[in-house]
A and B are shown apart, each in its own frame.
Chain A
Amino acid sequence: MHGGRVRRFHFARDVEEALSLLAAYGSRGAVLAGGVDLLRSPRGDVEGLVDITRIGLSSVRETGGGVAIGATTTLSGVLESQAGHDYAGGILPEVLRAVASLPLRNMATLGGAVVSAHPWADIPTALVALGAEVRWQGEREGRSLVEELYRTPFRGLFRSAVVTEVRFPPWNGAFAYEKVGRTRYDIALLNACCGVGVEDGRIAWARVAVGARPTRGERLPWAEEALVGRVPGEPLWNEVRRLVEERIEVGEDRRASGEWRRTVAGVLVARAVARAARKASA
């Protein structure tokens, strides 16, 4: 029960102080938010922990149909906020209730989830599907779509920069989230986050992301294209299910076979798209 070689603990007073402490420690310092990930898998090289939970980065704001969430907002904090609740057909509560259990959601922060970005995690799949943008402060201010950030070696960046906010854009439609795990508390064997907008009885836009394949959640642009312009309903959901089964790239690990993931991916996408369409039309 020991935190490795940690020698110093600092409560940063603001982002600037956090950055200068990180700079002083070099590779031997780490930002501590909820600590769930950092303390579960302690980095043996960390000597200084810089706690950023008391610098005013915990807030959830509505932004013209979108929502802006401060990096140190706990997952419970997002779940309990009105703005988080109302966004895009209630997608955030759907996703966050699927994450771990209540005590872990009371600790884990959204910023920590962006940076830890486990391939099996629920949140990265949703961030990518929702077109979320992450903002940070380092030597310079930076911002990037999470989808693009995840194509870069982002973990190195956050050794000397602090995520300050995650912004979710407005969507004229709704999203739904599906996850399969062995138990309610288990991590995903596979997950899918899908959204659609319905106009004049047809699908106007679609977003489809599948994660824990076992690689991190990514969009399936060909599945999105197959949905746009079509009439929502059972025949289309069946078509999408078959298409995903045919084309998705999946792998196997000790938790599930590739064959199983291929079949279940089709089912999860079809279910999520159908639910999103029902919500969007309601």
Chain B
Amino acid sequence: MKISFELNGELKYLEVDPGERLAALLRRLGMKSIKEGCGTGDCGACTVLVDGRAVRSCLMVAPQVQGRRVMTVEGLGTLDDPHPLQRAFLDSGAVQCGFCTPGMILVAHELLTRNSSPTPDQVREAISGNLCRCTGYVKIVDAVLLAARWKREGKWR
């Protein structure tokens, strides 16, 4: 079947298999930031934003995004020009192997879009469904709080 949706600001109109997972479709379209950690909704490595809300792309079939806006980390910033949220992860040492990082950043993006002054506990709550096997989470929480400060200071785009 044919579906159309917006991917990182670009309109897509393409043929999908009705049972194809959104995670698989997005990787097929080159969005390699999306990882399949578990495929059962438990790890958060496949998180994307649909209409600005974080969702698990491993638990969606492609047709569900018909007419929606999908954003992956590729749409947030580039290597040369990272988004402040990405810069905050780098500056805080919140990235080790990087497998969980795109999901963490997108969950943080939804949190900070709605609340620029989260408490550390609100940050922990927001990322509680995203697993990281490397960092121990402390630096990820620091990164989100740093990005929040930059947002309050008007440094976000």
Query: B59 contacts A102, CB within 8 Å?
Result: no
Query: A4 contacts B19, CB within 8 Å?
Result: yes
- Considering the chains assembled together, what is the distance between the CA atoms of A102 and B110 in angstroms? 9
Chain A 98-110 interface mask (CB, 8 Å, partner B; 1/0)? 0011111011000
Q: How many residues of chain A are within 8 Å of chain B by beta carbon? A: 30
Q: Which residues of A contact B47 (CB under 8 A)?
A: 103
- Interface segment, B6-14, B50-58, B81-89, B148-156? B50-58
Q: Which residues of B contact A100 (CB under 8 A)?
A: 41, 129
- The winner among B19, B24, B129, B130 for most chain A CB atoms within 10 A is B19
Residue A196 lies at the interface, judged by CB distance under 8 Å to chain B: no
Residue B66 lies at the interface, judged by CB distance under 8 Å to chain A: yes
Q: Which residues of A contact B23 (CB under 8 A)?
A: 1
Given A103-B55, A104-B56, A104-B129; A11-B66 close (CB under 8 Å): yes
Residue A36 lies at the interface, judged by CB distance under 8 Å to chain B: yes
- The winner among B20, B47, B53, B55 for most chain A CB atoms within 10 A is B55
- Considering the chains assembled together, what is the distance between the CA atoms of A7 and B18 in angstroms? 6
Residue A185 lies at the interface, judged by CB distance under 8 Å to chain B: yes
Query: A51 contacts B64, CB within 8 Å?
Result: yes
Query: A3 contacts B64, CB within 8 Å?
Result: no
A74-123 at interface with B (beta carbon < 8 Å): 76, 97, 100-104, 106-107
Query: B18 contacts A49, CB within 8 Å?
Result: yes
- Considering the chains assembled together, what is the distance between the CA atoms of A183 and B64 in angstroms? 31
Residue A204 lies at the interface, judged by CB distance under 8 Å to chain B: no
Q: Which residues of B contact A1 (CB under 8 A)?
A: 20-21, 23-24, 36, 39, 58
CB nearest to B27 among chain A residues: A1
Given A11-B66, A39-B61; A103-B24 close (CB under 8 Å): no
Chain B interface size, as a band, is 20 to 34
Residue B63 lies at the interface, judged by CB distance under 8 Å to chain A: yes
B110-136 at interface with A (beta carbon < 8 Å): 110-111, 124-126, 128-130
Residue A151 lies at the interface, judged by CB distance under 8 Å to chain B: no
Given A102-B107, A103-B47, A104-B41; A35-B60 close (CB under 8 Å): yes
CB nearest to A106 among chain B residues: B53
A1-46 at interface with B (beta carbon < 8 Å): 1-9, 11, 32, 35-36, 39-40
Partner of B60, one of A5, A97, A107, A185: A107
B55-80 at interface with A (beta carbon < 8 Å): 55-56, 58-61, 63-64, 66
Residue A155 lies at the interface, judged by CB distance under 8 Å to chain B: no
Query: A6 contacts B18, CB within 8 Å?
Result: yes
- The winner among B20, B60, B61, B128 for most chain A CB atoms within 10 A is B61
Q: Which residues of B contact A7 (CB under 8 A)?
A: 18-19
Residue A184 lies at the interface, judged by CB distance under 8 Å to chain B: yes
Least distance between A49 CB and chain B CB atoms (Å): 7
Least distance between A122 CB and chain B CB atoms (Å): 15
Q: Which residues of B contact A53 (CB under 8 A)?
A: 64
A183-201 at interface with B (beta carbon < 8 Å): 183-185
Query: B60 contacts A39, CB within 8 Å?
Result: yes
- Considering the chains assembled together, what is the distance between the CA atoms of A5 and B17 in angstroms? 10
- Considering the chains assembled together, what is the distance between the CA atoms of A98 and B24 in angstroms? 29
Query: A101 contacts B128, CB within 8 Å?
Result: yes
Can you list 25 A-B pairs, Cβ within 8 angstroms, ordered by A?
Answer: A1-B39, A2-B24, A3-B19, A4-B19, A5-B19, A6-B18, A6-B61, A8-B18, A32-B61, A35-B60, A39-B61, A40-B41, A49-B18, A51-B63, A100-B129, A101-B44, A101-B129, A102-B126, A103-B44, A103-B53, A103-B56, A103-B107, A104-B41, A107-B56, A107-B60
Taking Cβ atoms with an 8 Å cutoff, the residues of A that contact B are 1-9, 11, 32, 35-36, 39-40, 49, 51, 53, 76, 97, 100-104, 106-107, 183-185
**6 closest A-B pairs (Cβ-Cβ)?**
A101-B129, A3-B19, A6-B19, A9-B18, A1-B24, A9-B63
